[in-house]
Amino acid sequence: MSETGKGVNAGKLASNVQKRITRAQEKMMQKLGKADETKDTVFEEGVANFNKQMAEGTKLQRDLRAYLAAIKTMHECSKHLQECLAEMYEPDWFGKEEVDSIAEDTDLLWGDLHEKLVDTALISMDTYMAQFPEIKARIAKRDRKLVDFDSARHHFASIQKSKKKDEVKTAKPLTLMEKAAPSWAQGIISAHQIAQTNLTRCQAEEELARAQKVFEEINSDLQDELPSLWDSRVGFYVTTFQSIAGLEEKFHREIGKLNQNLCNTLTKMEEQQEIKKADKTTGKSGAAANHNATVESDSTKSASKLSPGLPVPRPLGPSPAKEEKQDIINLFEDELTPNINFTTPSQFDSPKVGSLLDMDVDAVHVVNASVAPQADTTATTKPNADASVTNGSSDAELPSGFLYKVKALHDYGATDSDELELKAGEVVFVMPFNNPDEQDDGWLLGVKESHWLQKKDFTAKGVFPENFTQRL
């Protein structure tokens, strides 16, 4: 038996070629309407559903792969972003270790999300789609076997029709050849024709039975599988999208916690940077004030050293009322010191004047008369001063337990829980410390006048810098 170079049996190849020719002829006869075609409406609906289901699954598989590729890209971008933050975050900043830990946890979360999506969604999707090519091939084979069945059925019907014609022909008068043959030979010829016709009919019948059996086996299996496959899509879609949604929900919940921790850490870091910046600004301003001031008390120096965050000291230039009082007092001292510009240190030396005995008494009275009314006017026009205070008295009608009153000249923001926050113009009742050793140089203890008048308690007491206030 001859074979081709690839080991394909020549007879089998010829048979396949013959089948293709026969199928092509059958399909052509069916299209031309010269041969009937076996129809199965239920099966055709099942095939239409199958094609729709396969198209939907193919699209879902393609979009799921694109989604996972995007997750992978987002993972890489998030990783680069976190690494950039970790590189820029200086070691001495607040929360450096916390930021590094958040970056590591974020990277793990992205990687875990991608891995679980592959395991629970993509692998299931690939398994689901793997069954469609095999079923599609069986549907195509079923279509071919249906054409073979129709062809065998038509061939058998044609033979049946030929047999009837032969029977009619046998009943007709003999032909000239048959008449010329001997009598004994005429019977043999007739028997041969009948046997040949019967053999062809039997072969056609066997071929029809074989084609019908092959078709019905394939058709029966597909009739059961296609509806079941169509119904399975619902459960598969539910499971797939539930898995994706659950993984997404867990991921965003955990990544949200990490993002909140990062925001809190960065906020605290920013607050500490502002505090450090304020401390540096305060130190520079304090140094400039100390350089420009003519006189700085030892208590203020000590307070600046003990409290690095002490705000800028107030200008040391005295108020007009204090200048007038000082002038009156100095009249009775050995030397009279004129007003000095406190913005530049030791700019002028105090001029010498004669003693009190050498002075004209009338001149002293003139000075007293010219200064006293100004002092009274100043005392009565001071903001936030009690109406009962007259002639500049600082201790008139103070509540029991207080030493004196002061007025804030500048705003002061408290930097500790035991400090008192001040606004310019507020009046404070100064009180003694329970333990004198607790008092720092340059600091006072007191309660705001507004608080005391409303609640009459010491709950809001606190310390504040003396150089931010003016005694009333």
Provide the residue-wise pLDDT of the chain in tens; the chain has 472 residues: 444 445 557 666 776 777 777 777 777 777 777 776 777 888 889 999 999 999 999 999 999 999 999 999 999 999 999 999 999 999 989 999 999 999 999 999 999 999 999 999 999 999 999 999 999 999 998 888 888 888 877 877 777 776 665 554 444 445 555 555 555 555 555 555 555 566 677 777 788 888 888 888 888 889 889 999 999 999 999 999 999 999 999 999 999 999 999 999 999 999 988 888 888 777 655 555 554 544 344 444 444 434 444 454 444 444 444 444 454 445 444 444 444 443 444 333 444 444 433 444 444 343 444 434 443 433 333 333 343 333 334 444 788 889 999 999 999 988 888 899 999 999 999 999 988 888 888 899 999 999 889 888 888 899 999 999 999 9
pLDDT value of position 182: 59
pTM: 0.48
pLDDT value of position 190: 56
pLDDT value of position 332: 43
Convert the chain into a string of H (helix), E (strand) and C (coil): CCECCCCCEHHHHHHHHHHHHHHHHHHHHHHCCCCCCCCCHHHHHHHHHHHHHHHHHHHHHHHHHHHHHHHHHHHHHHHHHHHHHHHHCCCCCCCHHHHHHHHHHHHHHHHHHHHHHHHHHHHHHHHHHHHHHHHHHHHHHHHHHHHHHHHHHHHHHHHHHHHHHHHHHHHCCCCHHHHHCCHHHHHHHHHHHHHHHHHHHHHHHHHHHHHHHHHHHHHHHHHHHHHHHHHHHHHHHHHHHHHHHHHHHHHHHHHHHHHHHHHHHHHHHHHHHHHHHHHHHHHHHHHHHHHHCCCCCHHHHHHHHHCCCCCCCCCCCCCHHHHHHHHHHHCCCCCCCCCCCCCCCCCCCCCCCCCHHHCCHHHHHHHHHHHHHHHHHHHHCCCCCCCCCCCCCCCCCCCCCCCEEEEECCCECCCCCCECCECCCCEEEEECCCCHHHCCCCEEEEEEHHHHHHHCCCCCCEEEEHHHEEEC
pLDDT value of position 189: 53
pLDDT value of position 28: 78
pLDDT value of position 341: 44
pLDDT value of position 390: 35
Domains, the chain, with CATH or none: 21-278 (1.20.1270.60), 298-471 (2.30.30.40)
